[in-house]
Amino acid sequence: AQSVTQLDSQVPVFEEAPVELRCNYSSSVSVYLFWYVQYPNQGLQLLLKYLSGSTLVESINGFEAEFNKSQTSFHLRKPSVHISDTAEYFCAVTSSGGYNKLIFGAGTRLAVHP
């Protein structure tokens, strides 16, 4: 069975500071990993994904995540956050054996303060 653990339920940070949101997964098969962002009262938006190839993936708004197979991690980072980055962030995993079911972590609330 697959599972996703997001170690921090809340991460407060000041504007322009760096941030890391942690995600660890458990799976016995090859996985595909995703980060989604959710703004209040909205659905989820895909932030970035790891399918294969380069272990470092980037989004268009400055976020990046690195797939680390040995540590079974897919941490999300941003070198300098903005107020507008305040949202809920979900790490998710799927695999070829799961009929594309997405398994979500519990989510991390990123709160950026001025």
Partner 1 sequence: GAVVSQHPSWVICKSGTSVKIECRSLDFQATTMFWYRQFPKQSLMLMATSNEGSKATYEQGVEKDKFLINHASLTLSTLTVTSAHPEDSSFYICSAREEGSHQRYDQPQHFGDGTRLSIL
5/103 Cα distance (integer angstroms): 10
Tell me: does residue 41 bind partner 1 (CB under 8 A): yes
CB 23 within 8 A of CB 39: no
Nearer to partner 1 (CB atom), residue 67 or residue 90: 90
16/35 Cα distance (integer angstroms): 21
Position 46: which residue type? L
Residue selected from 12, 20, 26, 46 as contacting partner 1 according to rule CB under 8 A: 46
65/44 Cα distance (integer angstroms): 18
Tell me: does residue 102 bind partner 1 (CB under 8 A): yes
Residue selected from 2, 27, 73, 94 as contacting partner 1 according to rule CB under 8 A: 94
- The residues that touch partner 1, with contacts defined as CB under 8 A, are 32, 34, 36, 41-46, 49, 51-52, 90, 94-96, 98-102, 104-107, 109
